[in-house]
Chains A and B, each alone.
Chain A
Amino acid sequence: MKSQSRFLSALRTRLNIQLALKLGTMVGLIGFLLALVYCLFFILRGYEVARTGYGMILTITALATVIVWVIRRKTIEHAAQFADQHWQLKDVLTTAYHFKKSGKSGRIYQLVQDQAAEHAKQLMGKNPPWDLPKKSGSLAVLLLLVSVGMLWVPASPEVLAQLAKQEMTAERTAEIQHELDEYLKKLEEELNDDEKETLKLNELKKWVKELKKTNNERDALKQFAKLEQKISKNMSALEQRKDEKILKNVAAQLMKAEMTEAKKLGKDLDLKEYKAAAKKLDAMKLSKAEKNKLKDTAKTTKLTEQQKKIAKMREISKRMAHANGKMGKPGQGKQGKMGKAGKMGKGEMGKMGEMAEGGDLEEMLNELDEALEELEEELEEMAMGDEEWDEDEMGAPMGRIDGDLDDLAKKLSKMGARRKARSKLKQMRQGLAQAQSYASGQSQQLNMGGKRAGEGTDPSKRNEKSKANDNGQFAQLSGIKNKGPSNSSIEEADSGTGVSRRRATAKERSYQRQFESFVHRDDIPEDLKSGVREYFKSIHQIPTVENPGSSTEP
């Protein structure tokens, strides 16, 4: 009985070892095949094999082998069945095992057990031959060796460059975002509330926050281009070219004046120092004391300080109003305006404040000039002794002058703020354009708004040079002109919404050249040629329009 148990236990152990080897081979074959496919998946694309995944596949294979072995491992009963079949014992061991297990007793059962024990005794020490899948095992080992060998295959130079570029793009997008954040923080510290509002600083912050760190160059460029587009849109909204042109003319006129104040004001306007100009205009206002003095000295023929001040103001306003070609006589303008004012309702009168915000600058200048002209006339009449000081008659133009000066100063302040905001946006847009080059690796330096003195050195140049980075650069250097990806292709602007950077004149010239080339052709009749020539001459003749400001110079 003991011999039977010992024999079956030994056989079971051997069968379990055999099963483990078989399962190891079969599961290993699958696992190693997967590992090979995994390695090929990397290598065929030029990448280095990721060892973590490879290790995981091998671990899963080993675990699967163990799990399947535990589920299918052989019992004593299996061993008995195997022995019966292998040595053709006609089920004696299995039957004896079952009888023993079910506790059957009796002489006949004992005889069965004795026979089983006798067989076991005879077979003790004999082992069935190892039944192992040799071909599959060899194949599994081969697959394992090949896949292990693949672990040491290096990535291709192209992939290295690509990976380095991705890494660089990720780093640079993060750096750009950081720089943008810093820039916005700096703006927040620098700008006052009005300027922040004009700049829409919070909106900018939101947009910058929406930027994502990415290693995809295309995505990175796309998001920077989008931001640039948004900024451009904001810049367009801050456009005040017309008003600036008016003020430039005004500045030119004022610079011609002999008066120091006018010249200073003109210089400020010329330099687009609108805030300073606004302060100067504010300083021109008559104070309450000055107004009272003017009342007392109005009758005198001698020019008082106040009258001189008004005269200076008039001089300046006249130049300002006439710089942009004021039409008609001042009196007519006044009447027209007064008539308009008389017709204005209460609500419309309230819009005067709005004029200061975004109203017509030219109109404001005329308004001021007319008010000053009116006051001057009144003062002249009083000096001639024709009229007495009338509080109502004198108060109205003086009030209008103060109001107009306030509005003009406000307008100039606002323009100053818009100009500043626009300048900042422009700077930011330029920075973003540079950032796109930087993110795509075309530029090695990110210079958002320029570096301060002494900070211009690129710290990255001090680091150990990476081969990968160099590769990226080499690829760029060895590029063929007009063969590489264009940055401009990333964003498609809607037709007609962009600002053309090419001058219209240049187009016209090219168009002219084209036509002239036609003109030179022999098959074109001479009269038609001369006709075309004359046509272009006529359209390119610059009209000698005299500057209205200069013509009306006093």
Chain B
Amino acid sequence: MTTASTTPNIEAEAAHFTTTFQTIRDEVGKFIVGQDNIVENVLISICCGGHVLLEGVPGLGKTALVTTLAKALSLDFQRIQFTPDLLPSDVVGTQVLIEKDGHRSLQFQKGPVFCNILLADEINRATPKTQSALLETMQEKHVTVANLTHDIGLPFFVLATQNPIENDGTYALPEAQLDRFFFKLYVTLPNHDDFREILVRTGGTSLPEINPVASGEDILRMGSTMRQVVIDEDVQDYLIRVVRATHPNHEDAPKKVKQYVRNGASPRAAQAILAASRARALLDGRFHVSIEDIRETAIPAMRHRLILSFEGEADGVLPDDIIRSAIKFSLR
């Protein structure tokens, strides 16, 4: 008989998770209108300790969402506007010569990554070298400069935005960096009612006041609670089948994957899906992961991890469609 190592008050922890999550969402919802799904996924990513890549045309509230979230979470927030001339040292920090008491010495000057929430705005405008500077930071949560490693405090989240239509002067993110992002979310145009609400809220003399409703500790606690959610072996097998089905070399992969995909999703994608599914299960009041959770989280967790083939790019195939076919194909 297997015994799960759970905290004795799992119900209380689950309740805290749900309450906190809902509180943050409500607080963000004061300013951000009509992006419930985006807000929820961003919050799930944060709970899971993952970074989010937000993609959408300018003006849809990507930056506003991140800043609002940072305010609601009462966390140290930094923003970097990525431009082609941005250097890695501008991101992670650099050694500067400091003269003190007649002595000159090199001192590490922390970059903007030393925060809890980093907004990497228009990340695909910087050169690959600068983009890569974020790699170590995002994965290891520390920075190494001049052979000296500097820890970044937890929690640490990178919320990056990129504009899909501005291809001129942009550099596509390398696969390795894309894989570091927990979710890639598409910010879409709000509907008519939401549009009106945006205008009402932002067109007046005063803006909604965002108060901090959760701390970094709350986020870490929520992450801990979430990991206790159990998953049935069958559901886990389904998750593995879905991820494996995105690989064109896999013999059971759907035809679409074999035709249009060059590289499938990595095991890190499976980890992301599982973590996000657990969060969704808790939010749904369950203590187990269901296949529906897997289906819901598979698309934002894998869409940026699929590398399309030349044919796929030429035919304008969307990764979401490929993932949907893998999900359908892997049904038990």
Which A residues form the contact surface with B (CB < 8 A)? 90-92, 94-96, 98-99, 102-109, 111-112, 115
- Determine whether B235 belongs to the interface, using a CB cutoff of 8 Å to chain A: yes
In whole Å, how far is B47's beta carbon from the nearest beta carbon of chain A? 18
Q: Told that A91-B235, A92-B288, A104-B1 touch, could you supply 16 new A-B pairs with CB distance under 8 A?
A: A91-B292, A92-B286, A95-B230, A95-B232, A95-B235, A95-B288, A95-B290, A98-B232, A102-B233, A104-B2, A104-B4, A107-B10, A108-B228, A108-B230, A112-B286, A112-B288
Given contacts A91-B235, A92-B288, whether A107 and B230 have CB atoms under 8 Å apart is: no
Rounded to whole angstroms, the CA-CA distance of A99 and B4 in the bound complex is 11
Contact B230 A99 (CB under 8 A): yes
The reply to whether B2 and A105 form a contact with Cβ atoms under 8 Å apart is yes
A111–B228 CA distance with the chains assembled, in angstroms: 12
CB of A109 within 8 A of CB of B230, answer yes
* Chain A residues, CB < 8 A from B6: 106-108
With A107-B6, A109-B4 as given contacts, are A90 and B234 in contact (CB-CB < 8 Å)? no
A-side contacts of B4, CB under 8 Å: 104-109
Min CB distance, B279 to chain A, in Å?
Answer: 14
Interface majority SS on A: helix, strand, loop or mixed?
A: helix
| Closest residue of B by beta carbon distance from A109 | B4
A402 to chain B minimum Cβ distance, whole angstroms, is 110
**B86 on interface, CB distance cutoff 8 Å:** no
**Closest A-B pairs by Cβ, 10 of them:** A106-B4, A90-B290, A91-B290, A95-B232, A103-B1, A95-B288, A111-B287, A104-B2, A108-B6, A106-B3
0 or 1 for each of B152-186: is its CB under 8 Å from A? (1 = yes): 00000000000000000000000000000000000
Contact B233 A98 (CB under 8 A): yes
Residues of B within 8 A of A103 (CB): 1-2
Return A54 CB to nearest CB of chain B, in Å: 42
The chain A residue sitting closest to B293, CB to CB, is A90
Known pairs A95-B235, A98-B232, A98-B234; A105 contacts B3 (CB<8 A): yes
Residue of B3, B234, B287 ringed by the most chain A CB atoms within 10 A: B287
Q: Does B233 lie within 8 Å of A108, measured CB to CB?
A: no
- In the complex, which residues 1-18 of chain B have their Cβ closer than 8 Å to any Cβ of chain A? 1-6, 8, 10-11
Chain B contact residues, CB within 8 Å of chain A:
1-6, 8, 10-11, 228-230, 232-235, 284, 286-288, 290-293
Task: Collect the chain B residues with CB atoms within 8 Å of residue A91's CB.
Answer: 232, 235, 288, 290-292
Q: What are 25 residue pairs bridging A and B, where the CB atoms are less than 8 Å apart in the complex?
A: A90-B284, A90-B290, A91-B291, A91-B292, A92-B286, A94-B234, A95-B232, A95-B288, A95-B290, A96-B288, A98-B234, A99-B230, A102-B233, A103-B2, A105-B2, A105-B3, A105-B4, A106-B4, A107-B8, A108-B4, A108-B228, A108-B229, A108-B230, A111-B11, A112-B286
Residues of chain B within 8 A (CB-CB) of A105 are 1-4
B230 touches A90 (CB 8 A): no
How far does the alpha carbon of A90 sit from the alpha carbon of B230 in the complex, in Å?
13
Instruction: Assess the A115–B287 pair: CB atoms within 8 A.
Output: yes
A112-B1 CB under 8 A given contacts A95-B232, A107-B8, A107-B10: no
Question: Looking at B11, B229, B288, which has the most chain A CB atoms within 10 Å of its CB?
Answer: B288
Shortest Cβ distance from residue A46 to the other chain B in the assembled complex, whole angstroms: 54
Instruction: State in angstroms the CA–CA spacing of A95 and B287 once bound together.
Output: 10
Task: For residue A94, give the distance in angstroms from its CB to the closest CB of chain B.
Answer: 7
A94 to B228, CA, bound (A): 19
Complex Cα spacing A105 to B4, Å: 7
Chain B hits for A98, CB < 8 A: 232-234
Residues of chain B with a CB closer than 8 A to A107's CB: 4, 6, 8, 10
Closest Cβ of chain B to A75, distance in Å, is 14
Chain B residues positioned under 8 Å from A104 (CB to CB)? 1-4, 230
A95 to B286, CA, bound (A): 11
Q: Are B290 and A112 in contact (CB under 8 A)?
A: no
Most buried by B among A91, A102, A112: A91
CA gap between A107 and B4 in the complex, in Å: 8
A104→B1 CA distance, assembly (Å) = 5
| Cβ contacts under 8 Å, A112 to chain B | 230, 286-288
Q: Separation in Å of the A126 CB from the closest CB of chain B?
A: 20
Contact between A102 and B10 (Cβ–Cβ < 8 Å)? no
Report B-chain residues with C-beta under 8 Å of the C-beta of A108.
4, 6, 10, 228-230, 287
Chain A residues with Cβ below 8 Å from B11 are: 111
Contact of A111 among B1, B3, B10, B235 (CB under 8 A): B10
| Chain A, residue nearest B287 (CB) | A111
Q: Which of A95, A112, A115: most chain B Cβ within 10 A?
A: A95
In the bound complex, how far is the Cα of B149 from the Cα of A101, in angstroms?
49
Report Cα–Cα, A103/B2, bound state, in Å: 7
Please report the C-alpha to C-alpha distance between residue A500 and residue B243 in the assembled complex, in whole angstroms: 96
